[in-house]
Amino acid sequence: MYKALNYWVFGGFDGQKTPYEFIDWAAEKGLDGVELTVGDALSPDITEAECRKIAAYAAERNIGLRTLASGAGWGCYLGAADDTERQNALAFVRKYLQIAAWIGAETILVVPGATRVAWDPGRPVLSYKTVWEQTVKSVRELVPVAESLKVNLALENVWNRFLISPMEWKLFLDQFDSEYVGLYFDVGNACLNCRPQDFPEILGSRIKAVHLKNFEETDCAGGLHNFGDDLFKGEVDFKAVFAELDKIGYKGPFTVEMIPFCRLPDLVLPDQALADKMALQLASL
C-alpha cells in the first residue's frame, strides 16, 4: 500500500515550504511518497530541468511522486460557459500534464468545474447541462495530450454540485475511450451524498488515485466544517473502502489530504503538528 501526504497541510496554500523540505520530511517519517501541488509547491511555470532535479532528489530518498494536485480548477473551469476561461483552463491543464510527465507523476488531480461554489459567490452559477457539455468538450481536447505524455487525467469528486454519485461518474467517464481519463476518488468528499465504498464496484479501473480524509455526519448530514483534523474520526469505513478497492485490483496511491475545515474561521496552514499526526495515522493503516 503506497502511503503519501498531500502538500497543503505541510506547506500551506502559498508555498511556504519547498518540495525538497517536504521530501526530506516524508523520508524521515517513513512515507512512501508525497503529493506536490501545482500553484504553490510547484510554480505553473516550472522548468523541465527543475522538475527533473526534484524527481532525482525524491528518488535518492526513496520517496515517490506518483500524483500531483492543484486547486486551480476552482477559479478557472474546464467546464466554463465562457470560452476564454475554458481556453485558459485548457492551457493550464496542458502545462500541468507536462509538469507531471517531467517530474515522473502518473496522475494529476483536476477539478472540472462547478454549477455553483457555495463558499465563493464571485464564481458564476451555471446549469448542470452547461458544465457537462463544456467539460466533455475540454476533456476530449486533453485526451491526446494525456495519452502522448502517458499521464492520467483524473477528475476529482468534489463539492461542486456536479457529478455527485458513482453512476453519474460512470456515465460521464464512459464517454471517453481512453485509459488515461478517470476519477481521482476522494473518500471523504463522497460521504455527504453517498457511501464511498460504493464507488469502486461501479467505476473499477476508472479510479486512478485515492484521497483519504474523513467526514462527520452532524447537523443533519453536515457541511464543510465537518471535515476534521483526525483521519479516523468520522463516517468513513476504511475497512470497507479498502476491501472494495481490493476487489477491483486497485494498486494506486493512497494520499491523505488534510484540510481541517472544522477549524474555520481559525484554519491555519501549514500545520506541522497536524502533518506529523497524519504521518503517524498513515503508518497505522
Q: If you average pLDDT over residues 33-50, what whole number do you get?
A: 98
Q: If you average pLDDT over residues 68-96, what whole number do you get?
A: 97
Q: How many domains does the chain have?
A: 1
Mean pLDDT rounded to a whole number for the chain: 97
Name the pLDDT band for 212 (thresholds 50, 70, 90): very high
Identify the CA nearest to 131 among candidates 169, 88, 94, 78.
78
pTM score, whole prediction? 0.97
Convert 219-239 to b/e letters by CB count within 10 Å (16 or more is b).
eeebeebbbbbbbeebbbebe
Residue 45: per-residue pLDDT: 97
Which residue type sits at 31? L
Q: Domain containing 207: what range?
A: 3-283
Q: Which CATH number is 188's domain given?
A: 3.20.20.150
Q: In this structure, are residues 148 and 197 in contact, taking their beta carbons and an 8 Å threshold?
A: no
Q: For residue range 130-178, what is the model confidence (pLDDT) as tens digits?
A: 999 999 999 999 999 999 999 999 999 999 999 999 999 999 999 999 9
Separation between Cα atoms, residue 86 and residue 83, nearest integer Å: 5
Chain center to CA of 209: 8
Q: If you average pLDDT over residues 34-50, what whole number do you get?
A: 98
Residue 197: per-residue pLDDT: 98
Name the pLDDT band for 219 (thresholds 50, 70, 90): confident
User: What's the full length of the chain, in residues?
Assistant: 285
Residue 166: per-residue pLDDT: 97
Q: For residue range 107-121, what is the model confidence (pLDDT) as tens digits?
A: 999 999 999 998 899
